[in-house]
């Protein structure tokens, strides 16, 4: 089955991961209701002035893709108690999702994308 929507993606995953994926999606949408959902690189992604965040499954659970290689250094307190590598946060099956931390990361990414958009607009105006 070709995955075309986030619903397709979630439905195609093992039962023990579907609930976590649905929760991640709901958390992201609660903070970024204007973001566009889609599938990019075969995983669910949200875009708003560029790539915002994505999520998917891994061997032991689910992951949140922050789409910023430096985010752990920019938000060290948020990442302190998380299992992560590069810009990906890993959650084990059955782990309670850190809702407040996920929301903080999504808000940060929204601001970051907005700032990048404004910088591009200023450069365009100066030309």
Q: Which two tokens stand for residue 3?
A: 């995955």
Q: How many residues does the chain have?
A: 127
Q: What is the pLDDT of residue 86?
A: 83
Q: Does residue 1 sit within a domain?
A: no
In sequence order, the 6+-apart residues with CB closer than 8 A to the CB of 88 are 63, 64, 65, 66
Q: Give CA–CA dist 65/97, Å, rounded.
A: 14
Query: The domain that contains 41 carries what CATH number?
Result: 3.90.1150.200
Q: Does residue 113 sit within a domain?
A: yes
Q: What is the pLDDT of residue 1?
A: 66
| Structure-token match 């890993």, residue found | 90
The total of structural domains in the chain comes to 1
Q: Give CA–CA dist 50/104, Å, rounded.
A: 18
Q: Does residue 46 sit within a domain?
A: yes
Q: What is the pLDDT of residue 107?
A: 95
Q: Give CA–CA dist 65/87, Å, rounded.
A: 6
The percentage of the chain sitting over the pLDDT mark of 70, rounded to a whole number, equals 95
Q: What is the pLDDT of residue 33?
A: 96
Phi, psi (rounded to 5 degrees) for 53: -150, 170
| pLDDT, greater one: 119 or 123 | 119
What is the domain extent for residue 108? 6-126
Q: Does residue 11 sit within a domain?
A: yes
- On the question of pLDDT at 8 being above 70, the answer is yes
55-114 pLDDT, tens per residue?
A: 999 999 999 999 887 887 778 787 788 888 888 999 999 899 999 999 999 999 999 999
Q: What is the pLDDT of residue 20?
A: 96
Strand pairing partners for 45? Answer: 38, 54
Average pLDDT over residues 43-66: 95
């Amino acid at each position: 089955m070709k995955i075309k929507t986030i619903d397709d993606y979630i439905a195609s995953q093992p039962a023990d991961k579907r609930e976590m994926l649905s929760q991640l999606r709901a958390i992201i949408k609660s903070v970024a209701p204007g973001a566009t959902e889609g599938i990019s690189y075969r995983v669910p992604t949200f875009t708003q002035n560029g790539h915002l965040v994505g999520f998917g499954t891994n061997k032991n659970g689910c992951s949140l893709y922050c789409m910023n290689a430096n985010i752990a250094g920019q938000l060290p307190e948020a990442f302190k108690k998380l299992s992560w590598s590069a810009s990906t946060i890993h959650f084990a099956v059955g782990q309670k999702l850190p809702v407040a931390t996920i929301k903080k990361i999504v808000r940060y990414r929204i601001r970051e994308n907005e700032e990048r958009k404004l910088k591009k607009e200023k450069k365009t105006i100066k030309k």
